[in-house]
Amino acid sequence: MALPKLDAADQPIVFVVGIHRTGSTFISQVLADCFPFALIGNHTTLFPRSKYFIHLLFKKFYKKGRFKNRSYKSYYGISRGFYSIGDGYEIWDKWMGKNHYYKPDQISNKKRDEMRDYFAYLNKSWGKTIIAKNNRNMLMITELHEIFPNSFFVVVNRGRADVIQSTIQASKDFFGSDDYMWGLRPSKEFSIADYSDKLEAYCNQYLELEKVLQKQLGELSPDKYIEVQYEEFCAEPVQHLEKIKDKMSKAHKTTYAANTADGLSYKSSQRLSDSGLTTQIETMLAEIADKSSTQA
């Protein structure tokens, strides 16, 4: 059955973005639970081509429960539960390709129209603002805002040394060695082979991604995004949810309600605690900063 064309220009969407290993999956899980959003998650990836009728069926069985003390464990963007938010690459790959580390060269007008159409019908089927989180989308903030002018970005940051240490561990988890670098690339030219020291490469990977992120945020109006520090969010989630709520409500010209009635309390991840490596990373970051200031 052919679906009528929808006007997708003003549909509200919340994108949770951040450099890899910053805690963006966790923040997106909490936001999806606390706000009346429809989400891109495990249920949507089962039928990546469906944009309306299947979701009307899913909607009937979706019920948010109490989430105090809920476990938000995930594995590199893969979360547990049928209605859990996640990277949803089966959805995004249709428009951005299957290389998840790099920004695509371009998104054609046809694919942009397909993306607008998909989210317009998803919004219509659920009758709610959509929230989406995908690791690669940090590289795509400018393009996503062009495609969805009524989008709002929750940008997740985390301590530099923690992100870099976690990236090194991810390389070992996925590839069995940190000789091959895991995670986003600031450009297609970036390579670990260009550095004589692996740690220097991982530090530069993070610093260059930080530049990419800040450049894109500099092109956005300040009322279109909010930056959230992972550690601070875990320490005082209710306070930060209120700040996010206020800014999203103004951006979308509506009034969101944050469900924090259960009381929320989280601990920041302490899975990695190599103090020696942390010291090495901080020393390397300082050396790179000194080198950059000297060259400038």
Q: Are strands 151-157 and 38-39 parallel, antiparallel or unpaired?
A: unpaired
**Is residue 7 in a domain?**
no
User: Are the CB atoms for 137 and 17 separated by under 8 Å?
Assistant: yes
Q: Residue 213's domain is classified under what CATH number?
A: 3.40.50
pLDDT along the chain (296 residues), means of 10: 60 94 93 89 71 64 57 67 81 94 95 92 87 96 96 97 95 93 96 94 97 98 97 92 95 88 68 82 93 73
**Is 131 part of a structural domain of the chain?**
yes
Q: Which has the closest alpha carbon to 230: 34, 23, 20?
A: 23
Count the domains in the chain: 1
Domain for residue 191, yes or no?
A: yes
Determine what percent of the chain is predicted with pLDDT higher than 90. Answer: 63
For residue 287, tell me if it sits in a domain.
yes
Domain assignment present for residue 122? The answer is: yes
Domain contains 174:
yes
Q: Please, which contacts does 211-218 make with residues 24 or more away whose CB atoms are closer than 8 Å?
A: 211/186, 212/138, 212/139, 212/186, 213/18, 213/19, 213/138, 213/141, 213/155, 216/141, 216/142, 217/141, 217/155
Residue 2 forms part of a structural domain: no
pLDDT, position 291: 84
pLDDT at 86: 86
Q: What pLDDT shows up at residue 69?
A: 46
Q: What is the DSSP letter of 127?
A: T
Identify whether 5 is part of a domain. no
The residue range of the domain holding 158 is 13-295
pLDDT of 38: 87
